[in-house]
Every structure is written in structure tokens, then in C-alpha cells.
Amino acid sequence: MVANVQPNRSALLKHLRNTLTEAPPFCSGTLQLPRENFEFYYGKKQTRYIDFVEAAQDPSSVGDLQRACEAAPFGRNEETVLDETYRKADKMDAGDFVMRFDVERSGLIDVVRQGLLTESEERKGVRAELYKLNVYGHGAFFKPHLDTPRSEDMFGSLVVVLLTPQQGGDLILRHEEKEWTFRSDQLLAGQSDRIAFVVFFSDVEHEVMPVLSGHRVTLTYNLHFEPDDVKRPHAYRLSLLEPRHANAGAIKDALLAYLSNPEVLTNGGTLGFGLRHVYPVSKVGGDPMSIVKKGLKGSDAALYQACNALGLTPKLRLFLNEEAGSYMFSSMKDLTENTGDSCKYFDRYDDVDEIHNERLSEDLEAADASNDSLDYGYGRRSLNGTQSAYVCYDNDACLDHFYVEVALVAQAKLIHERLAEWGAEVAGDAQDEKVQDSARKADLSE
């Protein structure tokens, strides 16, 4: 009977891949707020006032707000440009308005943790930095773009959609060839005391579709990791629509089941994972991998934790895929201001392309290349596996930081040493009925 057949190596591998990629890179929902939270003040010379609850019935006040805004630019590589064929919208800087809504007191920081971070990171310090107000009037839009990588501790964005009459203006999110649609107009239809929100990782491509009528008014917050957590209140009457964060326990179980199979790395060897997300690093040197390690996102963080828990000694490596070959390296030196960046690397993996395309490979053969160097041009970097002649960012050019791809490598011991070390875990978690059943289904689907 099929139920008695133990899943083979390829089925366990497919189950591991599915487990790593099942959590979406965002969460969204609505939040009920006290009436005073909808009061909004703006204007440098003459203070103006909007009550966004009343604005739902009187949209003229939103028109006044839009006229007080400036045309919104966006970043194209290292330039900040105005181009209404790519982005048509208006913006107001954070210093030019005050709203009584307090993102810290609202409990939305807990939503960020629940929706994006792994269980072990739910107490991690998160700071929400108010960045811009944007107004999208009739016909306004913003074609595909990424968040500008502003600092190494920035990991995502929170977009709050205020209560205004609107149709259209859907936010499309894309990552790893998957697509999701956030329809704030539908979420807020008929509401009088709620905001809509969406939280996503900074390397998730997003696009604002044209507004068909009314105004789409948003507050954007940059999300940063902080060293210490501060206890925050729970969200008031929260409706969270999307699934919770990556399940670190399930990822560990899937990895344990895979490595407990005697067909896998019988004589020991190296496991390689191409991480799902790209990460911002500084253009002025430093130790990028120590920064990236502190800011791992979603299932990337869960995978690192799983490898650590199983004693696999995970290490992070910058990943570079060039015409001359594919490379991993741990440090970047000799940055130049002209043609590109000369990067030192210490390992070259002949089989590294499998990591990039298949997200997992084994037995990577490393050749010593510690004295070599290569040129790395920012404009030719690969984001999420696709080459782009240029990359567009949300509001400003990318001046001090850029995104890099990252791989994780981990060392597995001999099969009998692994099994002896894990002992009861192999007998329990690795043979868990849910893991085995999921792996068998993956095998049958091929």
C-alpha cells in the first residue's frame, strides 16, 4: 500500500522546498481605531485639518490635501527622477503633517511580528519610521518597483491605507514568480472606523494599479530591526487576513527528515540553499554577512535556525552570478566609484548555479581562489533570479546601499554520525506522520 512506502530522497527534498516557500512574504488586514486617531493636520504656513471619518462623506477635503502635496519622484538606480509615465502620484514628507494615529500604540508592530517574523523572533525589536504620505488621485499609478534599500537594518514596509472614497488602486505584490493582490477599496467599503494595512518585506516587488475614482491616501513606514524589544500593546480589534509567519518547527522537521534519509549525503558533505530574499548592504565596506545574519527574513531566518538546531553550522555567503562563473564570497573590499566594485572572494563553487536556480544543492566542490578578484557592477546585479538593466525604487534613488543575493551553506556529518547525534529526534520528528504524508504526496505529484 502507498501509505506504507517510505518517501524517497527526491520526495523529501521536494517537501523541504515546499515547506521553505509556503509562507507568503507579506500580511494584510484591517484595524479598528478610536475616532480621534483619524484626525490629520498639515500645512507649513497655514495649518489645515482633515477628519478622515468625515472625509468618507466629503471628499473635497482630500482634494485640498492633494493640492498641498508635491509630485512624487522615484529612484532609478542612483538617480531620483520624475516620470509620470512610470509613476503618477503626489507625496507629502513626514515633517509636513501630524496625525493622531500612533503606529506604536495601535499594536501594528505586533502584527509585523506575527505576520513576517518567525516564532523565535516575535520578541525582536522593531521600529516603524514614518516616511511619507502619498495621495493617488484619479488615474494615478506606480509601475513595478522595490523599496529603496536605505539601511542595513531595514527589512520591510508597512503601508496604511486611510479611510477615503476610492475605487481601484489595487496593490500588486510579486515574489518568486507568485503574485498577490491587496484590494484596500474593498476592505474599507462601508467602514467608518477602520484602516487597511499591508506589511511586506523590502525586496518584494510591488505595483499600484490605476485609481479609477476617488483618492487612495496612504502612510508608509520603513520597518527596522532594533537590538532590544519594547513591550507594546496588543492591536485593538484587529482583522488579520493573511497566514502567519514561516513555521520554523515545520522547516526543522522537513530538514531533519531529509537528512535522516540514508540516500542523502551518506559520506557527509555540504548543503547549499539560495535564500528567498535579497538583503541591503552598505556600499562603503564593513562586514556584510554579520549584518545580514541579524536581519534574516521569514523562512530564511527559520532555515538558519533549523540548521543551527541540528548542529549543521550554517554560514552565509554573498552570491554572485556572472558570465565568467558563479561565486560565493564572505567579504567585499576595494570598493571603487567608477566601473564597479572589486570584490574579494574566498570560495568558488563549480556547482553553485544549481543553488541559484533550484534553491538547494549538495556536494558543492570548492576550489581555493582566495587571491582572485572580480568586478561587480551594481546595474547588472540579479534580483530574485532575474537580470534587470535598471531597478526602480519607491521614492528616492539608491545612494548608500544596494541589494545582494545570499546563499546559506551548511556542513552535514556522515549519515551514521548524524543519526547517532539526533537520536530520539529522528525517531520522532523525522518520522512524523504529517512530514511523511506530505513527502509522499510530493512524490506522487511528480
Indicate which CATH number applies to the domain containing 124. Answer: 2.60.120
Range of the domain at 302: 2-21+247-445
Query: Tell me, what's the pLDDT at 104?
Result: 87
Regarding whether 371 and 315 lie in a shared domain, the answer is yes
Q: How buried is 334 (Cβ within 10 angstroms: 0-12 exposed, 13-18 middle, 19+ buried)? A: exposed
Regarding whether 419 and 372 lie in a shared domain, the answer is yes
Which among 179, 214, 240 is the end of a domain? Answer: 240
Cα separation of the two ends of the chain? 18
Which among 223, 240, 257 is the end of a domain? Answer: 240
Phi, psi for residue 128 in degrees, rounded to 5: -100, 115
Other beta carbons less than 10 A from residue 107's beta carbon: 16
- Contact yes or no for 220/159 (Cβ under 8 A): yes
Rounded to the nearest 10°, the torsion over CA 137, 73, 385, 300 is -80
Regarding whether 77 and 16 lie in a shared domain, the answer is no
Regarding whether 315 and 344 lie in a shared domain, the answer is yes
Query: Tell me, what's the pLDDT at 116?
Result: 83
Query: Tell me, what's the pLDDT at 137?
Result: 97
Which among 196, 223, 240 is the end of a domain? Answer: 240
Query: Tell me, what's the pLDDT at 432?
Result: 56
The single residue listed with the C-alpha cell 522595490 is 146
Regarding whether 220 and 87 lie in a shared domain, the answer is yes
Regarding whether 205 and 309 lie in a shared domain, the answer is no
- Which residue type does 186 have? Q
Regarding whether 15 and 43 lie in a shared domain, the answer is no
Alpha carbon distance 172, 188 (integer Å): 17
| pLDDT one digit per residue (tens) for the chain, 446 residues | 444 556 788 888 888 888 888 888 999 999 999 999 999 999 888 899 999 999 888 888 999 999 999 999 988 877 888 999 999 999 999 999 999 999 988 989 888 887 888 766 667 789 999 999 999 999 999 999 988 877 888 999 999 999 999 999 999 999 988 999 999 999 999 898 999 999 999 999 999 999 999 999 999 999 999 876 655 555 556 665 555 556 778 899 999 999 999 988 888 888 888 888 988 887 766 677 788 888 899 889 999 999 999 999 999 988 766 665 566 666 654 333 333 333 333 333 333 333 333 333 333 333 222 222 222 222 223 333 333 333 565 666 555 777 888 889 888 899 999 999 998 666 555 455 555 555 555 454 55
Using a cut of 0.75, tell me whether the model's pTM lies above it: yes
Query: Tell me, what's the pLDDT at 152?
Result: 85
- Contact yes or no for 329/318 (Cβ under 8 A): yes
- Contact yes or no for 330/319 (Cβ under 8 A): no
Alpha carbon distance 133, 40 (integer Å): 11
DSSP string, 372-411: -EEEE-GGG-EETTEE-S--EESSS---SEEEEEEEEEEE
Regarding whether 307 and 223 lie in a shared domain, the answer is no
- Contact partners, residue 286, CB within 8 Å, separation at least 6: none
- Contact yes or no for 97/360 (Cβ under 8 A): no
The three cell numbers locating residue 316: 552565509
- Contact yes or no for 77/398 (Cβ under 8 A): yes
Regarding whether 273 and 381 lie in a shared domain, the answer is yes
Query: Tell me, what's the pLDDT at 377?
Result: 21
Total of domains in the chain? 2
Please, what's the b/e burial string for 52-62 (b: 16 or more CB within 10 A of its CB; e: otherwise)?
bbebbeeeebb
Regarding whether 398 and 378 lie in a shared domain, the answer is yes
Regarding whether 87 and 59 lie in a shared domain, the answer is yes
Query: Tell me, what's the pLDDT at 439?
Result: 54
- Which residue type does 258 have? Y
